[in-house]
A = this chain, B = another copy of it.
Amino acid sequence: MNDTQTDNAGVLPIADMICFSVYSAGHAFNRVYKPLLDRLGVTYPQYLVLISLWDRDDQTVGALGKALMLESNTLTPLLKRLEGMGLVSRARDPQDERQVRVKLTEAGRALRGEADSITMCILEATGLPIEELRDLQTKIVRLRDHLNRAAA
C-alpha cells in the first residue's frame, strides 16, 4: 500500500473505468467531427438525424427517437433547428394527428454528398483498421444493449 493518500481498495482509478472510457471516447469523437460538421452547419446529433433520413425519408419523431435512442424532449427542439435551417420539414400526419412526420428538403438531401468524405476522415482519425473497428463496434453495441436492458 504505497498510495499517496488513502487506502484505495475497491474504487478503481477513473482511467480504468470502462464507463469513463466510453464517456471520454464520445467526447473525442465529437472533437473530430466538429470541424467537419461545422462546414455543413450542423451538430453531431443533427447529423445523425440527417443520416437517418438519408437512409429513410419521411419518418415520425418517434421513429427517429427509436433509431437514435433519444426522446421527443431532445428531438423536438433539435428538429425545429434543422427546420429553421431549411434542411427538413415537420408536419402533422393527416392520418394520425398525434404524429409529426419529418422529411428532408432539397437542401437537406443535397448535404448527403458530403457524408462519405466525412466518414473517411473519421475512419482515418480512429487510427484503426476497418476490421478492428467493426469488431469493436459489435462489442460496444452488445455492451450498450445489456446496459439498456438492465436500466429498463
Binding site for B on A (CB under 8 A): 4-6, 8, 10-29, 31-34, 44, 48, 51-52, 54-57, 67-69, 112, 115-116, 119, 122, 124-128, 132-133, 136-137, 139-151
Contact = CB atoms under 8 A, between A and B. Distances in A.
Contacts of A147: 25, 28-29, 31-32, 125-127
A147 to B, nearest CB: 4
Contacts of A122: 19
A18 B52 CA distance: 15
B18 A126 contact: yes
Copies of the protein in its oligomer: 2
Contacts of A119: 10-12
B146 A56 contact: no
A5 B124 contact: no
A38 B35 CA distance: 36
A135 to B, nearest CB: 9
Contacts of A29: 19, 22-23, 147
